[in-house]
Amino acid sequence: MAQIPPNYDESKVPDLILPDPFVSLKGNPILTREDWENFRRPEILRLFEENMYGQVPKDFDDISFSEVTKSQNPYSNTAILKEVDIKVSRKGKTHSMRLNVFIPKSGSVPFPVFLLINYKPADPSGKLVETDFWVVEELVKQGYATASFHAETVAPDDKDKFAEGVIGTLYPEQLDQKDGMRALSAWAWGAMRAMDYFEKESLIDAKRAVLVGHSRAGKAALWASANDTRWAVTIPNESGCGGAALSKRKFGETVQVINTSFPHWFNDNFKAFNGKEELLPMDQHMLVSLIAPRAVYFSSAREDRWADPKGEYLSMKLGSRVYSQIYGKTINFPLDFEELKEPVIQPFAGYHIREGEHDLTLEDWKSYMDFVEMNLGRKDK
């Protein structure tokens, strides 16, 4: 199929006909928390697994955590550095991923934690500084521990090599399945193993863990949190197509474009929706609904039209209805996208759009800290 140039014209966005999170596939209304959690939520999770992201296998035989000392600690005045090799074994094979963890030297233990899924490759010299992209110093100053892993240590971000990590080593049978694990599911799996570590580390409060990812790693963060309810707060930044943005708007990057450029991110079944977004039995607002009743925050950048900021806001606005309709909480997104100026920081669901381009910046992190403080509180306060 020939590639169609991206649409950036709002008047050309098709009329949105979105599946209703509160009506089951058989057409029954979903009104209670019981029906939602026991029936509709698993149904929606399976729709995403089957048609889009693929499975996130949960089984393995053994997991171990060992501290290694490989890098210099650039923040040694205020934080301790733990470099942790997480080794996971299944059926006699072992995969190892590296987690870099900074924990404040002072403050009250255990510390809430921010995990960043970092899709950028590790610095070949082993340097751990990421400045505005990963604001270790700021987070530590505010009383948070923070950790990150490079996505490539779980699954290489390469269409020919993506299986040369956890997929090929631990779960090779997934490669033969049309709804099998691919790179985004593998990165989500990596975040879960980091969470396994947090649960074992007494300096970290795993019950107050925040999952952050930018762009492709934001897609993985959302999918990780849909699968793993241990995350208290989920923050995908500018995650766009296949992340926060509604697919059926076909604004900016489309399903066909993403499947062509990055065929290793999503499962094989997703390719059937190239140019046919209207046939998808779900859309990304339903991914938001899977996070509830935990807190979720989306962020966009004004010039990042490729990621469809309006589609990201709309999916938050529509998907967060689950908090009021099912969980009886008050959520307010009164403004239209065009009217938004300030970050919407409120209990359970938040959003901001900042000026500028596709990136993860200190300005973004500051709003995340405000949202997290409102939603989780801090022990030392």
Q: Which residues are catalytic?
A: 215, 358
Q: What is the DSSP letter of 99?
A: E
> 242, 230, 160: which is closest to 197 by C-alpha?
230
Distance separating the N- and C-terminal Cα atoms of the chain: 57
Positive or negative, the CA dihedral 232, 236, 94, 52 is positive
Q: 196 to 225, contacts with ligand GCU by CB under 6 A?
A: 215-216
Q: Which is nearer to ligand GCU, 1 or 17 (CB)?
A: 1
Residue 117 engages ligand GCU in binding (rule: CB under 6 A): no
Binding mask 305-344 for ligand GCU (x = CB under 6 A): -x--------------------------------------
CB 320 within 8 A of CB 296: yes
List 201, 205, 253, 308, residue binding ligand GCU (CB under 6 A) = 253
Binding mask 266-295 for ligand GCU (x = CB under 6 A): ------------------------------
Q: What is the DSSP string of 194-225?
A: HHHHHHH-TTEEEEEEEEEEETHHHHHHHHHH
Q: Which is nearer to ligand GCU, 216 or 248 (CB)?
A: 216
Q: Which is nearer to ligand GCU, 143 or 165 (CB)?
A: 165
Judge if the upstream peptide bond of residue 343 is cis by omega within 30 degrees of 0. no
- Which residues, other chains included, contact 270 with Cβ-Cβ below 8 Å and sequence gap of 6+? 51, 52, 53, 255, 259
Residue 241 engages ligand GCU in binding (rule: CB under 6 A): yes
- Nearest-approach distance from CB 144 to ligand GCU, in angstroms: 24
> Where do runs of H (alpha helix) occur along 171-291?
183-200, 216-227, 255-261, 285-291
Q: Which is nearer to ligand GCU, 212 or 292 (CB)?
A: 212
List 258, 286, 316, 340, residue binding ligand GCU (CB under 6 A) = 258
Positive or negative, the CA dihedral 336, 341, 346, 352 is positive
Only one of the segments 65-73, 162-170, 253-261, 285-293 lies at the binding site for ligand GCU (rule: CB under 6 A); that segment is 253-261
User: What residue ranges bind ligand GCU (CB under 6 A)?
Assistant: 215-216, 240-241, 253, 258, 261, 306
